[in-house]
Amino acid sequence: MTYRIAVLPGDGVGKEVIEAAMIVLNEIALDAEYLYGDIGWEFWRREGNPLPDRTVELLKQTDCALFGAITSKPKDEAQKELAPELQGKGLEYYSPIVKLRQMFDLYANVRPAKAYPGNPLNYKDNINITVFRENTEGLYSGVEYYPVPDEIEEVLKNHPRYKKFVGMDKAISLRIISRKGAERIIRAAFEFARENNLKNVTVAEKPNVLRETSGLFVKVAREIHKEYPEIEMWETNIDAQAMWLVKNPEKYDVIVTSNLFGDVLSDLASQLVGGLGFAAAGNIGDNYAVFEPVHGSAPKYAGQYKVNPIATIRAVRMMLDYLGEKKKAARLERAIEMVVAEGKVRTYDMGGNASTLDMAREIAKKYAEA
Ligand code: NAI
Ligand code: MG
């Protein structure tokens, strides 16, 4: 069966790293049809919608998507840049990637942080951590108030710890952890550990303070762990975990956590192994998935073919795994390893002067040999 893969280059260097990824995908010769879709700032300006309906329709007809990067700007600037004929129509900018996560219920944000030996940017050479961040709820549920409506104030005013806030000028964001939400991300983390013969899964939360939300998350983890007796489960506090990631990152195989904590921890982990030039993410749900580099459109470098495409090529590797193309995925991983270990072709962030496409061509060449 021919795969149908949506390709969403987006803005700035997003276009360049996707061009690089396609060089590699061509070498891999996956039996796939690539369908290009419009997304990003350009479409906000011209059409008042950064994720046009035709793109959503296209995605619905594909197995998964490969996404580059987009530009987004604060509210006021977004309004100013809108085409004159679209001004004053009440159009509001929103993040298309956040919208995609919600629309397709892409609850698992999977962020590998693996050190490729020979990368001069590595903090240590033996790091290989995969962070599973819950992607749809927690502190990013989007249930926020400012000002706080009277009916909410009415309900909360009798809470002993809320009393001091009554009548104050204040904002509230709700941290919502559902049992279903916790279950599916924790299960995804354990399944990944089992599939890859990994030894440990760490649940990094803060149940001593966030007794109810983190408490539920950890409780669910203990229940699910019973189904995976061959895997060790460690419980840590999120703050201490940040410290340990700097102290002994090589100890951790898989870390699973809620939305905000995972956002922070995965950025920390990726900086240990080369930063934005290397950091890839999968946004994975039960029926669809979007793979992307973690970085944005890097306007400073747009049009220069300077940035490192390895992050996006790693996203391709994750996509191959998702599609069940395990052999091709492993072969691509070896090709990246070879190029980094050899150290002949390096982009600026690695201290070299190879272009985005030079790096992609070198990885494609090594794929042919691997
Ligand atoms: P950015 O990630 O675009 O770039 C920040 C800096 O990181 C760059 O100037 C560059 O020094 C380095 N960098 C980024 N990608 C790299 C790569 N592949 N290789 C080597 N170095 C790399 O973040 P910034 O500048 O904060 O945001 C620029 C735009 O991107 C904004 O409009 C922002 O909203 C958007 N953005 C979009 C994201 C997405 O599409 N998922 C994620 C983050 C930001
Ligand atoms: Mg982040």
Domains, the chain, with CATH or none: 1-111+283-370 (3.40.718.10), 123-141+176-272 (3.40.50.2300), 144-175 (no CATH)
Q: What separation in Å is there between the alpha carbon of 271 and the centre of ligand 2?
A: 12
User: Quick one: which atom of ligand 1 is closest to the CA of 69?
Assistant: 40
List per-residue pLDDT tens for the chain, 370 residues long.
899 999 999 999 999 999 999 999 999 999 999 999 999 999 999 999 999 999 999 999 999 999 999 999 988 899 999 999 999 899 999 989 989 998 999 999 999 999 999 999 999 999 999 999 999 999 998 899 999 999 999 999 999 999 999 999 999 999 999 999 999 999 999 999 999 999 999 999 999 999 999 999 999 999 999 999 999 999 999 999 999 999 999 999 999 999 999 999 999 999 999 999 999 999 999 999 999 999 999 999 999 999 999 999 999 999 999 999 999 999 999 999 999 999 999 999 999 999 999 999 999 999 999 8
Give me the pLDDT at residue 324, please. 96
Which tokens belong to 210?
A: 């966030």
H helices of 89-237, in order, are 96-103, 150-156, 179-195, 213-225
3-state secondary structure 196-227: CCCCEEEEEECCCCCCCHHHHHHHHHHHHHCC
- Provide the angle, in degrees to the nearest 10, between the axes of the packed helices 259-271 and 238-247: 10
Give the Cβ contact number of residue 333 at 10 Å.
19
Q: What separation in Å is there between the alpha carbon of 299 and the centre of ligand 1?
A: 8
> Taking CB atoms and a 6 Å cutoff, what residues make up the pocket around ligand 1?
69-73, 97, 276-277, 292, 295-300, 307-308, 311, 349
Q: State which of 295, 304, 357 you would mutate to test the pocket of ligand 1, scoring each by most atoms of that ligand within 8 A of its C-beta.
A: 295
Give me the pLDDT at residue 74, please. 87
User: Quick one: which atom of ligand 1 is closest to the CA of 349?
Assistant: 20
Atom 44, ligand 1: residue with shortest CA distance: 296
Which tokens belong to 105?
A: 């219920």
Atom 26, ligand 1: residue with shortest CA distance: 296
Q: What separation in Å is there between the alpha carbon of 300 and the centre of ligand 1?
A: 9
Atom 23, ligand 1: residue with shortest CA distance: 296
Contacts of 254 (CB under 8 A, 6+ apart): 129, 130, 131, 132, 189, 190, 192, 193, 198, 200, 201, 202
Nearest bound ligand to CA 295?
1
Atom 36, ligand 1: residue with shortest CA distance: 296
Contacts of 353 (CB under 8 A, 6+ apart): 346, 347
pTM, two decimals, is 0.95
User: Quick one: which atom of ligand 1 is closest to the CA of 40?
Assistant: 40
Give me the pLDDT at residue 142, please. 85
Q: What separation in Å is there between the alpha carbon of 138 and the centre of ligand 2?
A: 15
Give me the pLDDT at residue 156, please. 96
User: Quick one: which atom of ligand 1 is closest to the CA of 300?
Assistant: 9
Which tokens belong to 118?
A: 């020979």
Atom 6, ligand 1: residue with shortest CA distance: 298
